[in-house]
Structure 1
């Protein structure tokens, strides 16, 4: 199949580029404004690298995600991995500083929120990129040719439900998950520490969701403990 073409059996519209770009820029901004004592100038290296990887991806698909090559695929996955890995480093540093208790407590609590939100976005982007071959493949390839799914959404099995529910299913409407679906999956996993929306199917996504949930739990536990310490000591 030629790049930019959609298989005749598919009717799902190509996904918009900008929801994912907006989320990525928000995560990079959160990362850029982390306290200098937490991660130092390294955060600007991460932000610069993220923007440098993003520019060619926007040039190739400025509005809708219709074209993909091996190098754009590598860039897009690398961008999501960069954000996730950098945020894990920030999370580890944050844990050490929260435990030590010798730093600006209010600033660290705000940094914990920044790291948590950036973590939600980073994992959402990674889930969005890896599931069923990524956003371009999900809407252009025939369903019989799609890579194995990493997530099972309710729309994937709603075709035999009541009519108004079945009307929006994958089988009837050619529904495909979009960035917002993966963002909600990531958000609910960070808040519930378990899958509460889409169910993970592959081992790689189970490990990723486990890592994300563990990180969210550690941040929450340490923030609560640090906040109690601040209240007990009056700062």
Structure 2
């Protein structure tokens, strides 16, 4: 049975399969937008609904071109997808900067709302960088499933599946070389979660300079949120 599954995968390589599902990316984006809208007014760099409206405008054409599966890509769509991630990440990092400034220069008394805001920023940070890794690695989600491996850009990350070909059979059957496995959004969100909690790579290693820079920025942002913002909020509560 295992052999037949592997043979089926060989007969249907990645570029002949359906693309990655659109829904997870849409849900993650909407959660990030909702978290931003719910932030306290003093942490926003523009009227509350300006940036969320811009993000939704960027999201609409992405859904229109690939409503169910990510199989088609143009230069314009690629630009919109990267711009959307950039806006989410930049607005959230700005909110973190304002939050830290408020803690240092303002007499903060409402520790409970500060804790909630810190949690919102931290969660949005995970989503934003997870989306960034997802959009950049090996040319993005469309390229990873629609292009032959030989035509893909160099990988930004090395997953454990990429080196499991010589493991025991039940592990090797799921490896990249055996099953033609490719990472999905959940895999990149996992990288983002572990990087925001351990402040370092775990089982997935960054390979490119841009991946290392992005993970560094995310780690520093998570560290500031954890050590400075949350610690100050807890002290205010006491």
| Normalised TM-score (structure 1) | 0.91
Q: Does the residue aligned with 1:147 lie in a helix, a strand or coil?
A: coil
Question: Structure 1 residue aligned with 2:175, among 166, 169, 173?
Answer: 169
Residue in structure 2 matched with residue 71 of structure 1 by the alignment: 76
What is the distance in 2 between the residues matched to 1:82 and 1:48? Answer: 11
Matches within 5 A, 1:77-226: 77-103=82-108, 104-226=110-232
What is the distance in 1 between the residues matched to 2:14 and 2:194? Answer: 33
Give structure 1 stretches of 5+ with no counterpart: 1-6
Residue in structure 1 matched with residue 5 of structure 2 by the alignment: none
CA contact 1:10–1:174 (8 Å) conserved in 2:
no
Q: Bigger shift: 95-104 or 121-130?
A: 95-104
Q: Does the residue aligned with 1:168 lie in a helix, a strand or coil?
A: coil
Residue in structure 2 matched with residue 32 of structure 1 by the alignment: 37
CA contact 2:111–2:237 (8 Å) conserved in 1:
no
Whether 2:62 is the aligned partner of 1:57: answer yes
Which ranges of 4 or more aligned residues in structure 1 deviate by more than 3 Å?
7-13, 40-43
| Normalised TM-score (structure 2) | 0.90
Q: 1:40 to 1:150 in 2, by over 3 A?
A: closer
What is the distance in 2 between the residues matched to 1:145 and 1:111? Answer: 43
Matches within 5 A, 1:6-21: 10=15, 13-21=18-26
Q: 1:40 to 1:132 in 2, by over 3 A?
A: closer
How many Å apart are 1:102 and its aligned residue?
1.7
What is the distance in 1 between the residues matched to 2:13 and 2:160? Answer: 25
What is the distance in 1 between the residues matched to 2:187 and 2:129? Answer: 12
Count of residues paired in the alignment: 226
Q: Give RMSD over aligned pairs.
A: 1.6
Q: Bigger shift: 39-48 or 206-215?
A: 39-48
Q: 1:106 to 1:231 in 2, by over 3 A?
A: closer
How many Å apart are 1:11 and its aligned residue?
5.2
How many Å apart are 1:8 and its aligned residue?
6.3
What is the distance in 2 between the residues matched to 1:11 and 1:108? Answer: 49
What is the distance in 1 between the residues matched to 2:169 and 2:175? Answer: 10
What is the distance in 1 between the residues matched to 2:60 and 2:234? Answer: 44
How many Å apart are 1:101 and its aligned residue?
4.7
What is the distance in 2 between the residues matched to 1:200 and 1:151? Answer: 5
Q: Does the residue aligned with 1:24 lie in a helix, a strand or coil?
A: helix
What is the distance in 1 between the residues matched to 2:151 and 2:174? Answer: 22
